[in-house]
Each structure stands twice: as structure tokens, then as C-alpha cells.
Amino acid sequence: MAALPRLRHLRRGKHSRVRHRGKILTWLAELFDVLGDPATGTAQNFTTDVQVAVGVLTAVGNAVADEVLTIGTTDYTFKANIEAQAAVGTLTAIDNPDDNDTVTIGVKVYRFKGTIAQINDVLIGASASDSLDNLIAAVTAGAGAGTLYFTGTTANADATAVAGGGDTVTVTALVAGTAGNSIATTATGGDVDFAAATLLGGEAAEAAYSVEIGVSASATLDNLIAAINGAAGAGTLYGTGTVAHPDVSAAAGAGDTVNITALVAGTAGNSIATVGEGDLSFATATLEGGVTSNNLQATAHGYATGDGPFLVTTSGTRPTGLLASTLYWLKLRVDADNFTVTGKRAGGVTGISSDGSGTHTLTPASSEEAIFEQLKRHPREVVNEATDIDDLAIS
């Protein structure tokens, strides 16, 4: 049978527990005293003083092709057309084609004949206009196979054709881009002829950060807004590959203006460059008006430096920097309407980087709330094992 503990051992254990509890109680008493009973100061609704930088772009006329607008480190270049352009050519009839006159479009050679006899033959009509209509039918494989052009003739793989003004045919590459500029367009016989030996004017789609010039300055500014915000219209209103601007957003202003606003509030936005060209200009060389302030604002707040602790509540979104279930004290009474706070009585000023939304309120914390929030910072085992106030530092 194990030996029973001696009385002095029991007394020693009891005394140890008593000492332990005494230290915790002493710590709580000191904490209670530091946190205040009751908390000083009254509940106040407050606002913050963080402002975003802004700028205004004004158009006194429409943009001109290749003009450049700079916002931050991003250049937007205005272009007449954003989408790829198809190459075109014009075939003109001076007279009705003669038998065996030819027209070449791409790799196909069309032969005018009084009597069609083979694939790609085109019937000579009663007039030059009729003959051109028959040619269009052959190029597009339209109605008239076997009568207006020879049966088995397939649609041209490189281009299409439509009637132009007078006795002309407009030939357009099927695929937009510069490749269409190499499609052959020739004729023999002298009665019909092309303006150039190949289709011309084919252009590739414009690069990212190009902005299409609209029919008016207002339309052009709308396209620019879409490009800055990365909104709908990529490939038609602005170049494919353009992404939303990393530093600003844009919105239509009054008249032919665009309001440019920094995405992040504070003074950093004041260094975002804004450079216009031609009829589009900014009032200033950078965005302006960005303010970074850690002040909380409440008219005639009545607070004094050191008041607290407080909890921050809100009906919306807390200003960035202010946290829920965190105790705050007045760091400095700036003036009758402004003050700063700190999350530690001896700590630095709590930084505020956005205004948040809704109504914000600074509410005095009860002593019980304050002690609870303070204890909550420590794991249970730390509180259980604490034997000295230094084990549970007061923030």
C-alpha cells in the first residue's frame, strides 16, 4: 500500500494553488484597473478621412488615328478600326466582255463565253452590267448554275463579290487581315479591268490597348471607358488582350468628359500620370485629391487622449484598419472634431486605408467585455498556467 502523503505536503499543494489563484486575481485586478471601470468616453458615430485621387479627361473634338492617351504606365492608342479589315478590289467594265476575255480572282480564272462550255465559264450577257451580274453569280456560286455560269463551278475560296456603283464589281477577301492583300485580281481582253493586281487594304486586328475612334467624341470616350474598365467590347471597341487598368477606373462625366478615379484611396493616387494628346486633354498632369489620414472624425466628440477602451461597430463595412472584437483607445485628441485611435494603450496610431461603408460607431466597452477581449488573445492553456501578470501581457 502506497504511503499516504504527509500533512505538510497537502498544505504545500494548497498554498501553491492559493498563490496561483492570488496571482491571477492580482492580474485581473490590474487589468481591470488598466482597462477602466467604466470605460471613459461616450458612444460616437464617426467618419474617416481617406479620399481617392481623381482626374477629368475632356474632349474638345474627336480623337485622331494614332493619338496616344497615357494613364499611369498604360498607353491607349486611338485607331480608326479595331477589328481586322478585309482586303478589297474593284473590277470595272468599260464595255461588254468579248468571247474568251478572262477575270482572275485568287487562283480561279473565269472565262466569258457566248456559250458556256466548261467549269468557271461565265455567260456574256446582253450588256456589260448583265455580264458582271453573271460573273458575281459564278464567284459566289449563286443562282444560275447551268445558265448564267457553267454547272460545277464552285464558290471562290478566296473572295466574294457584289455589285458596285455603275458597271463595277466589289471583290472582298473572305478572311480579314493582311493575307488578303496577296489575292490576285487581273483581267484580259481590255473590256473589264481591276484597279490593282491584287486586293488591297487588308489589315490585322489592332493590338491590345488600342481604342476605336467612334463617330463622335462622345462615342470615342465611351470606347475608352470600356477599355479602361475591361468592360464588354474587346475586339470591337478596343483591342483584344486589353485588361482592366490596374490603378484606376473610368466613368462618363458631364458632356464630353471622363472621370478617372484611383482604385486605392490615399495620397499614392496623386502620382498616377494623366497625359492627353490632340483634342483630348487632362486638367492636370496627375490625378489629384488623394488623402491618407488616420483621423476619425466626429463633430465636438468630447474625447480626451487615453479614453477607452472602445469597440468599433458598423452598419456596413468597417474602414480598412479597424477590426471587430478589438479594443481601441484614443491615441491622440487631434482637435475638437478629429482624433486617432490605437489598438494598444502604448501602441502606435491605427492606420486607416479606406472609408468602408455605412454608419460607424465607437462604443465604450464594458469592463467585462474588455477583460474578455484581453483574455481571448491568449490560449486557454496559457491562462490556466499563468503564474505572473507578465505571462499575460496587457496590450
Q: Are residues 78 and 214 in the same domain?
A: yes
The band of 218, judged by pLDDT with boundaries at 50, 70 and 90, is very high
The answer to whether position 272 is within a domain reads yes
Average per-residue pLDDT for the chain = 87
Q: How many domains does the chain have?
A: 3
Per-residue DSSP letter, 301? -
All residues at 6 or more sequence positions from 59 whose CB lies less than 8 Å from its CB, including other chains: 217, 218, 220, 221, 256, 257, 279, 280
Reply yes or no on whether the pLDDT at 370 is more than 90: no
Q: Are residues 134 and 226 in the same domain?
A: no
The answer to whether position 145 is within a domain reads yes
The answer to whether position 240 is within a domain reads yes
- Fill in the amino acid letter for 158: D
**C-alpha cell, 166:** 455603275
Residue with the larger pLDDT of the pair 357 and 149 = 149
225: domain range?
A: 54-82+206-282
| pLDDT attached to residue 25 | 55
154-196 pLDDT per residue, tens: 999 999 999 999 999 999 999 999 999 999 999 999 999 999 9
112-131 pLDDT per residue, tens: 999 999 999 999 999 999 99
All residues at 6 or more sequence positions from 288 whose CB lies less than 8 Å from its CB, including other chains: 53, 54, 55, 270
- Beta carbons within 10 angstroms of residue 43's beta carbon: 11
Reply yes or no on whether the pLDDT at 367 is more than 80: no
Q: Are residues 42 and 61 in the same domain?
A: no
Q: Are residues 247 and 174 in the same domain?
A: no
* Helix intervals (H) in the chain: 7-35, 128-140, 217-229, 367-375, 380-385
Residue that is last in its domain, among 230, 250, 282: 282
Per-residue DSSP letter, 4? P
| pLDDT attached to residue 289 | 93
Residue that is last in its domain, among 260, 282, 304: 282
Q: Are residues 188 and 96 in the same domain?
A: yes
Residue that is last in its domain, among 261, 282, 303: 282
The band of 376, judged by pLDDT with boundaries at 50, 70 and 90, is low
Compute the distance between CA of residue 17 and CA of residue 366 in angstroms, rounded to an integer: 29
| pLDDT attached to residue 347 | 84
Lowest mean pLDDT among 59-68, 227-236, 329-338: 329-338
Compute the distance between CA of residue 230 and CA of residue 233 in angstroms, rounded to an integer: 8
| pLDDT attached to residue 371 | 59
Q: Are residues 68 and 128 in the same domain?
A: no
